[in-house]
Structure formats: C-alpha cells, structure tokens
Amino acid sequence: MALGTSPGTNRTVLVVSGDQAFLDGTSRFLTDHRVLAARNVTEAQRRIVEDGVDLAIFDPSYATDAGVSDGGQLLHVDPELPLVLVADTLDMSVLRTALRIGFADVVDAPVDRAKVDGMLELIEDQAQRAVLKEAKARIGKIITIMSPKGGAGKTMTTANVALQLAMWGDPSRVVIVDADLQFGDVCIAMQIDPIHTIVEAAQDLDKLDDQLLESLLSTHSSGLRVLAAPLEPSLADKVSTQAVVRVLGLLKRMFDYVIIDTAPFLDEPVLSILERSDDVLLVVEMDLPNVKNAKLALDTLKLLKFPLGKIKLVLNRMNSKARLDIGELERSLELEVQAAISSDKLVPRAVNEGEPVVSLYPRSRVAKDLRGVARLVVDYESTPEIAEGEGQRKWFG
C-alpha cells in the first residue's frame, strides 16, 4: 500500500462474529493489524478487558434492533471504543438505533479494503475527539480576590496566592489580572515595570486574540504573568466592562489560573468579574468597618442571586489588637471563616522589597497562613503536587 494511505498500523481490531467466512473476509484487509475474534458480546467484553481493543466490527447478524442494543453493551466496558456494524441491507430503523446507541458507523456488506480503511480511520477520529475533549476540559480557574474595604489586604493576598500557586506548579500557567483599574498596585508589590497594560487590550478589543493579549502581559521574576492595571486613574475609563469580560474569556483558555485583584467596590466591572469566577476570596480585616462593608456587599450579592457558595471568607491580620469575636463575625456574615492570615511586619517589608512574603520569607508564620489560603483555591488537576506536610492550620477549635 502506498505511503500515507494506510490509516495507521498495529491496531487491535475485534471482530464480533460467529461466522468464520465473515471473520476471514474481514481479516484479509487487516493484515497490518492484530485481529481478535469473539463469537458473542460476552466474549467480546472479556477481550476488551483482557487485551485492549481499538475497534470492534459486528457481522450482519447484529443488524437488528436487538442485535445493536446487545452490541452496544461493549460501550459499558469502554465508552470510547468505536463500534462498526456491517449490515446486508441498510434498514433505516436499525441504522438510527445503532447511531443512537453510540455505534460510530454502519456500513453495507460485503466489506472491502476501502470500507475497512474507513473503519480504521474512526480510531484516529476517536483519538482526536479525546484530545479535543481534554483541551476543552483544561479551562483555567478564575479566582477573584475581593473586599469592599480598601486596605483589607486584597493585593497582598493576590500576589501571594498567585506566587504560591506558581511555585507549586508551573509559573508560566499562572496569570494575575490587576483589575483595580484606578489604583492597581500589583506590579509595585511584585517589582514589575509594565510596558503594556489592560488599557491597550481594551483599545484593541476588535483585534484582541491570544497572541495580542500574550504580548501585553508582563512577566514576574518567577515566570508568572501579569496583566497590569492602567498606569493612572484617569485611564480606568478606557477599560470597559466588555473589555474585562473578553480578556478573562481569553486568559482562562491560556492559563491554568487567572487570579484577579479588584477595586474595593461592587461596580459593574467587579460584578461581571465575580459572575465569571470559580472562586472568590472575600478578604476581611478584623474591625467593625470591614465587617459592616462585607455584610453590605454580601447582602447585595444575595439580592443579585450570586451563588454565595463560591465565596470563601478569609480573615486578614488575625492577631491585631482590634479583635472581634469570630463566632459573632461568622453569624453576622452568615459565612464560615475558611482561612486566616496573621498580621506580620514581614508583609510590608516584603512589599518594600518588591517580593511577596511567601517567597521572600517562606518559613514565616504569615507565609504558612498564605499557603493555607492558596490551598483553598488550588486545582489538583493543574497542580497535583502541592507542598505536603503542612496540614490546614486550625485557628478555631
């Protein structure tokens, strides 16, 4: 056979037939492959389990409604296995039943080389579909850090959680979006000098695709990427909600983790970000104004029917003087505290050094706390080997 016309070699093809003539006739066109025979479906199931099969071909005795539903049993063993029925006459009702059950194809008898090659191609198609399915399943996780109070620790949490996820996995699969459009300071906290910002993405919205967006990202020394906030507050207007939404849609296909720092209010861009988030970290400091604002924000989100289950409550500056009762706080917010971050002067020191505390002082207690926060949002598929040996710390009871 000429090169390129053969649809792969060394496949395992199972012929389900009690008819020796059919078996011989079909095997003639499968000389490059391993051919297994099964006299009935029970035997075929065993073959699939024991030998592994790439394709199953049924003889015309299966070309009835009962026959195809019997044959369809093989899909219970291997749901991805391409099944082909060979039929003497193409009865529409049987054809429909076969396709509904999940047969990949029905061809008319007798088989010839072209038909067998066509069947073998189904193996390739199936593999292709599996790849596409996997690619589709690999859509990144959007994690938003919010707080309705300035200074609560959003940016500190964003930078540290992102860097921790990057250190546990592949830094080039992590991107931060600085969506605090007026006063974004992620780049300052991470010592990045951005050349491009989200403003350019918004201005080129019609042309925006993966490649253009990629070229607008800055890179931190760890390798994680950042889409910088506008360089001055007046430029925030240039970034429409539509632009933010489009950027997120692209980034979640380009990265495993999209981590978003936000402004301390519930305006339209922030709401549309929240709507698209898989996880939301609500950062609350231990004082009354923080708790009051968190309550108001949660009430608003409830009114908007936002799924509150996505929100994970994180307390910041745990051991500071203005201590509130945790139980009272949880009752008031109707949320359980899921992680807490100590107050530590290493945090501002790290900010001044331009390097998040999880990498600058990894052994500190506050870094440990921040790893606890990162664990709340880690995706075990993209980050299977997260640091062991530091069980979730129990703050309360």
Residues at the site binding ligand ADP, with contacts judged by CB under 6 A? 147, 150-156, 316-317, 341, 343-344, 347-348, 351, 366
Instruction: Name the residue nearer to ligand ADP (CB basis): 316 or 383.
Output: 316
Phi, psi values for residue 77, rounded to 5° = -80, -45
* Shortest reach from residue 373's CB to ligand ADP, in Å: 11
The helix (H) or strand (E) run that includes residue 372 is helix 365-377
DSSP 392: P
* Shortest reach from residue 281's CB to ligand ADP, in Å: 11
- Comparing CA positions, the residue from 41, 25, 99 lying closest to residue 74 is 41
The pair of three-digit structure tokens given for residue 48, joined into one six-digit string: 């699939």
* Shortest reach from residue 345's CB to ligand ADP, in Å: 6
Tell how strand 83-87 and strand 225-227 pair up.
unpaired
Instruction: Name the residue nearer to ligand ADP (CB basis): 12 or 342.
Output: 342
300 near 162, Cβ under 8 Å?
no
Cα separation of 126 and 131, whole Å? 9
Instruction: Name the residue nearer to ligand ADP (CB basis): 250 or 258.
Output: 258
With CB atoms as reference, the residue minimizing the distance to Mg ion is: 155
The helix (H) or strand (E) run that includes residue 144 is strand 141-146
| Beta strand residue intervals within 240-385, DSSP E | 257-262, 279-285, 311-316, 337-341
Omega within 30 of 0 (cis) for the link into 110: yes
* Shortest reach from residue 319's CB to ligand ADP, in Å: 9
Instruction: Name the residue nearer to ligand ADP (CB basis): 119 or 350.
Output: 350
* Shortest reach from residue 281's CB to Mg ion, in Å: 13
Residue 233 interacting entry, from ligand ADP, Mg ion, none, C-beta within 5 to 8 Å by type = none
SS3 state at 328: helix
Residue 383 interacting entry, from ligand ADP, Mg ion, none, C-beta within 5 to 8 Å by type = none
Residue 150 interacting entry, from Mg ion, ligand ADP, none, C-beta within 5 to 8 Å by type = ligand ADP
* Shortest reach from residue 280's CB to ligand ADP, in Å: 14
Contacts with Mg ion: how many residues (CB under 5 A)?
2
Instruction: Name the residue nearer to Mg ion (CB basis): 84 or 373.
Output: 373
Cα separation of 389 and 387, whole Å? 7
List, as one string, the DSSP characters of 213-244: HHHH-EE-TTS-EEEPPPSSGGGGGGS-HHHH
Tell me which residues in 122-181 interact with Mg ion (CB under 5 A): 154-155
* Shortest reach from residue 393's CB to ligand ADP, in Å: 15
Instruction: Name the residue nearer to ligand ADP (CB basis): 155 or 382.
Output: 155
Phi, psi values for residue 145, rounded to 5° = -105, 120
Residue 337 interacting entry, from Mg ion, ligand ADP, none, C-beta within 5 to 8 Å by type = none
Which spans of this chain sit near Mg ion (rule: CB under 5 A)?
154-155
